[in-house]
A and B are shown apart, each in its own frame.
Chain A
Amino acid sequence: MSLDLSQFHQVFFEESQEHLDTLENGLMSLDIDAPDMELLNSIFRAAHSIKGSSGVFGFSALGQITHVLENQLDDWRKEVRRPVTEHIDEMLAVVDDLRALLASYQAGEEIDDAWVGERIESMEAVFKVAAGAQTSAAPAAAAKEESGFGFFDDEEEDDTGFGFFDESEETAYSGNDDQDHDHEGYGFFAAQTEATPEPNEANTEAYGFFDQTGDASSGGAKRPTAVASSSAKPQTAAAANSAANQSIRVNVDKVDSLINLVGELVITQSMLAMMGKDISNIRQEKFEAVVEELQRNTREIQESVMSIRMLPVSFVFNRFPRVVRDTASKLGKKVELVIEGGDTEIDKGLVEKLADPLTHLVRNSIDHGIETPEKRKQLGKPETGIVRLSASQQGGNIVLSIMDDGGGLSRQRILSKARERGMPVDDNMPDHKVWQLIFEAGFSTAEQVTDVSGRGVGMDVVKKNLTSLGGRIDIESVQGFGTTLKLMLPLTLAILDGMAVAVGTETYIVPLASIVESIQPSKQEIKTISGDELLDVRGHYWPVVRLHKAMQVDTEQQKLHQGIVVLVESGKQRFGILADRLIGQQQVVIKSIEQHYKRIDGVAGATIMGDGHIALILDLASLAKGMKEIPAMEAAS
């Protein structure tokens, strides 16, 4: 069998995607006045890696364009020229084009060679214009050419960036580029390589495989890890890099199937525990002890398997420096982006779905929130506005917030807009209710429509997307001081906190986040409107969905006062769900029904209970739709 390169294509696409990210982030953080050599090197390496491997796979357009980029970067790196803003802008545009090209290759589309030619010309034009007489770039690039295509090669003296699957050593190495102990860069743990000042000891440590070796040779010095944490910046950076690269790529399907299997293991384990209760002799105690041991182990396995799916939120955040830069320059504003808590971990499924809503919110903050530099000056604020993007974990939730120090939301304007649209509002509405109005479809308070936003499409979609992820969004705003949008999301899409309720012989799960309270209504609390029963709970009227009716289950308890009513809030709708009894609160693993069956009305998914049975998870929004009509939600606010 001949070597089929296509099997590596996926890896190439992923790698190139990452290199482009490195390139983009590097360019964004490059300080034009004092370029950081290490950063320049890493930008260069990223470009070089793309060029090298695209050559190997025959993606020539990608290679050609990157080649021009690389030449320019090489000049910067060698200090033949100095980076200028104009060039960085062009490079960022090139990065976008490269992404598009990569997508075309990935989709197997034809590449327009004429366009590639033009693009290269336009790039060269831009780079030459500002470069003036500097022409030394050409020979340098030519010399570079031969060494550029190594596949698994990381022993190059100069071009350290070509390893295909491994960057850790190179990163460590390049960090020491200008120092005379280059050889230390090949240690297994980058953190240890330069921990000790004496060259001799450093050497022994650099090649050590285990912590202990280092300890022994340096005669009871501090543990290398401790040293590393106190060492200077380049070293820690290298250490962080090498740690980040201690990873492998795994297909998500494999992880999902692992999660599935572990879920099964947990169920089997609890079945075993139940059976253990029937053993009625001297063995019972021993058996229970063993089952307990098993239980602990399976829980730990489950936790660590779940954690495989978790990714740091920085995967989403990293795109924002670019978004902010582009948006701000388009609008002529000065904006500084502050990112906090990027290492907070979140489910991979969520990471992908968060990107769009967050981009929308950040752009909104810049467009509607941050004032123009002139206006800020007038107001006595610094010219540069701040957008703060932060993530943190709070219990089973992740909280993302987008904060700006702009003008804040205008209560008056929102209220008058709402009146124009014929929405029921009054001047005494509390702030948080006013702010929620901007999530209405088609609502926009922008005085003029800009390129970026203001067309009134968006906030409703953002809210819908977040709600579908099981999240919610809060706004805090103080006029003149800024706006904070807070998104609360579940840590993972795979697990849900639910309340199990029983109806007849069936069990259903109500998402805990939507539950307001559960009550056993008294007869006085039950009112009727033309025969339809409503619950009057402390001045609010709640329509009731009878679960046994909605789900066609036989049950004897059909009267409101016989069962228990779970009051829920879903989107704008509030209603009660009548069930026979509550079973209890528990975390459930969400399973798809639609994989093997069609969508079921009123059901969001299924889960497997401890006894191996399936329980359906209620979809409150579609359950509410099943009701004829929901009478006025509230008597008075």
Chain B
Amino acid sequence: MTVQTDNEVRYEFLTFALGEEIYGMDIMQVKEIRGYEAVTRIANAPPFIKGVINLRGEVVPIVDLRIKFLDATPVYNEFTIVIVVQVHDRLVGMVVDGVSDVIGLTRDEIKPSPDFGVAFDSRFLSGLASQEEQMIILVNIEALISSNELGLIGEDAAALKEAVDSQV
């Protein structure tokens, strides 16, 4: 583990697995972690949008990041995890292969991601970090959720989308 000096701010990330890769997202945007449950399908939605679930009275869309980013044909079982993230007022459930840890990183430990050469769209990356030989891909959840590409918001709303700040 890295040693924290007095004047360094540490950012906490929840790490999760998509296939063999480890990703991280700002812990402050994670609302809860739950198991995968049956969804209600939505017509004309892209395949990675599984549908909507009832999260204590709110109708929350479920996105399978494994389909979106790995193009995988995923399995759903009792170990499938949904990370419910909250960005501003919006709630979205993200299906991942598993949740591993919460790690703290200082700004120095977060390296910029290369502009190209990675399958994961660089717009949604806020950097790379390594922990015990493992590269962690830090995801900019806000940019991801408010992007047109994910199809979570209507085009009008997308047009109004604010300039996205990187989390770090």
Q: Is the CB of B57 within 8 A of A260?
A: yes
A614 at the interface (CB under 8 A from B): yes
Minimal Cβ-Cβ distance residue in A for B55:
A596
Q: Is the CB of A596 within 8 A of B154?
A: no
B131 at the interface (CB under 8 A from A): no
Which residues from chain B contact A551 at a C-beta distance below 8 Å? 41, 43
A591 at the interface (CB under 8 A from B): yes
CA distance A601 to B42 in the complex (A): 10
Q: Is the CB of A593 within 8 A of B59?
A: yes
Q: Which of A85-122 contact B (CB under 8 A)?
A: none
B151 at the interface (CB under 8 A from A): yes
CA distance A257 to B41 in the complex (A): 26
The contact of A552 among B40, B44, B153, by CB within 8 Å, is: B44
CA distance A74 to B91 in the complex (A): 56
Q: Given A591-B57, A608-B57, A614-B54 in contact, is the A599-B92 Cβ separation under 8 Å?
A: no
CA distance A615 to B57 in the complex (A): 12
B89 at the interface (CB under 8 A from A): yes
Q: Is the CB of B90 within 8 A of A598?
A: no
Q: Is the CB of B44 within 8 A of A606?
A: no
Q: Mark A573-606, 1 if CB is under 8 A from B, else 0.
A: 0000000000000000001111111111111001
A550 at the interface (CB under 8 A from B): yes
Q: Is the CB of A593 within 8 A of B43?
A: no
B61 at the interface (CB under 8 A from A): yes
A254 at the interface (CB under 8 A from B): no
Which residues from chain A contact B154 at a C-beta distance below 8 Å? 594, 598-599
Q: Given A551-B43, A597-B52 in contact, is the A613-B58 Cβ separation under 8 Å?
A: no
Which residues from chain B contact A264 at a C-beta distance below 8 Å? 56-57
Which residues from chain A contact B82 at a C-beta distance below 8 Å? none
Q: Given A506-B41, A600-B43 in contact, is the A595-B54 Cβ separation under 8 Å?
A: no
Minimal Cβ-Cβ distance residue in A for B155:
A598
Minimal Cβ-Cβ distance residue in B for A607:
B59
B157 at the interface (CB under 8 A from A): yes
Q: Which of B136-168 contact A (CB under 8 A)?
A: 151-154, 157
CA distance A597 to B56 in the complex (A): 16
Which residues from chain B contact A602 at a C-beta distance below 8 Å? 43
B60 at the interface (CB under 8 A from A): yes
Q: Is the CB of A596 within 8 A of B40?
A: no
B38 at the interface (CB under 8 A from A): yes
Minimal Cβ-Cβ distance residue in B for A260:
B57
Which residues from chain A contact B42 at a C-beta distance below 8 Å? 597, 600, 603, 616
A261 at the interface (CB under 8 A from B): yes
CA distance A596 to B40 in the complex (A): 15
Q: Which of A282-297 contact B (CB under 8 A)?
A: none
Q: Is the CB of B57 within 8 A of A261?
A: yes
Among B42, B44, B91, B151, find the residue whose CB has the most chain A CB atoms closer than 10 A: B42
B53 at the interface (CB under 8 A from A): yes
Minimal Cβ-Cβ distance residue in A for B154:
A598
Distance in angstroms from B130 CB to nearest chain A CB is 34
Interface SS majority for chain A: loop
Among A550, A552, A597, A599, find the residue whose CB has the most chain B CB atoms closer than 10 A: A597
Which residues from chain B contact A506 at a C-beta distance below 8 Å? 40-41
Q: Is the CB of B59 within 8 A of A595?
A: yes
Q: Which of A538-567 contact B (CB under 8 A)?
A: 550-553
CA distance A263 to B157 in the complex (A): 29
Which residues from chain A contact B53 at a C-beta distance below 8 Å? 614
CA distance A197 to B96 in the complex (A): 78
Q: Is the CB of B40 within 8 A of A616?
A: yes
A382 at the interface (CB under 8 A from B): no
Q: Is the CB of B54 within 8 A of A597?
A: no
Which residues from chain B contact A599 at a C-beta distance below 8 Å? 154
Q: Is the CB of A601 within 8 A of B44?
A: yes
Interface size on A, residues (CB 8 A): 29
The contact of B59 among A261, A553, A606, A612, by CB within 8 Å, is: A606
Q: Is the CB of A596 within 8 A of B92?
A: yes
The contact of B58 among A596, A600, A616, by CB within 8 Å, is: A596
Q: Given A506-B41, A552-B44, A616-B40 in contact, is the A598-B157 Cβ separation under 8 Å?
A: yes
Minimal Cβ-Cβ distance residue in A for B56:
A264
Q: Is the CB of B152 within 8 A of A553?
A: no
CA distance A613 to B151 in the complex (A): 23
CA distance A551 to B42 in the complex (A): 7
The contact of B60 among A596, A613, A615, by CB within 8 Å, is: A596
Minimal Cβ-Cβ distance residue in B for A602:
B43
Q: Given A614-B53, A614-B59 in contact, is the A596-B43 Cβ separation under 8 Å?
A: no
Distance in angstroms from A127 CB to nearest chain B CB is 49
Distance in angstroms from B149 CB to nearest chain A CB is 13
Q: Is the CB of A595 within 8 A of B89?
A: yes
CA distance A261 to B58 in the complex (A): 10
Q: Is the CB of B152 within 8 A of A552?
A: no
CA distance A600 to B41 in the complex (A): 11
Distance in angstroms from B59 CB to nearest chain A CB is 5
Which residues from chain B contact A608 at a C-beta distance below 8 Å? 54, 57
Q: Is the CB of B41 within 8 A of A553?
A: yes
CA distance A205 to B53 in the complex (A): 58
Which residues from chain A contact B92 at a C-beta distance below 8 Å? 596
Q: Is the CB of A596 within 8 A of B57?
A: no
Minimal Cβ-Cβ distance residue in A for B90:
A596
Q: Is the CB of B52 within 8 A of A593?
A: yes
Q: Given A552-B44, A553-B41, A600-B44 in contact, is the A595-B52 Cβ separation under 8 Å?
A: no
Which residues from chain A contact B59 at a C-beta distance below 8 Å? 591-593, 595-597, 606, 614
Q: Is the CB of A591 within 8 A of B58?
A: yes
Which residues from chain B contact A263 at a C-beta distance below 8 Å? 57
The contact of B52 among A550, A552, A601, A606, by CB within 8 Å, is: A606
CA distance A260 to B57 in the complex (A): 6
Distance in angstroms from B17 CB to nearest chain A CB is 25
Minimal Cβ-Cβ distance residue in B for A548:
B43
Among B57, B61, B90, find the residue whose CB has the most chain A CB atoms closer than 10 A: B57
Among B41, B61, B89, B154, find the residue whose CB has the most chain A CB atoms closer than 10 A: B41
Q: Is the CB of A612 within 8 A of B54?
A: yes
CA distance A509 to B41 in the complex (A): 14
Q: B interface vs A, CB < 8 Å?
A: 38, 40-45, 52-54, 56-61, 89-92, 151-154, 157
Which 4 pairs show the lowest CB-CB distances between chains A and B? A598-B154, A614-B40, A260-B57, A551-B43
A-B contact pairs, 15 of them (CB 8 A): A263-B57, A551-B43, A552-B41, A553-B41, A592-B59, A593-B59, A596-B61, A596-B90, A596-B152, A597-B52, A597-B61, A600-B45, A606-B59, A613-B54, A614-B53
Besides A264-B56, A596-B58, 20 other A-B contacts (C-beta < 8 A): A260-B57, A260-B58, A551-B41, A552-B41, A593-B52, A595-B59, A595-B90, A596-B59, A596-B60, A597-B61, A598-B153, A598-B157, A599-B154, A600-B44, A600-B45, A602-B43, A606-B59, A614-B40, A614-B52, A614-B54
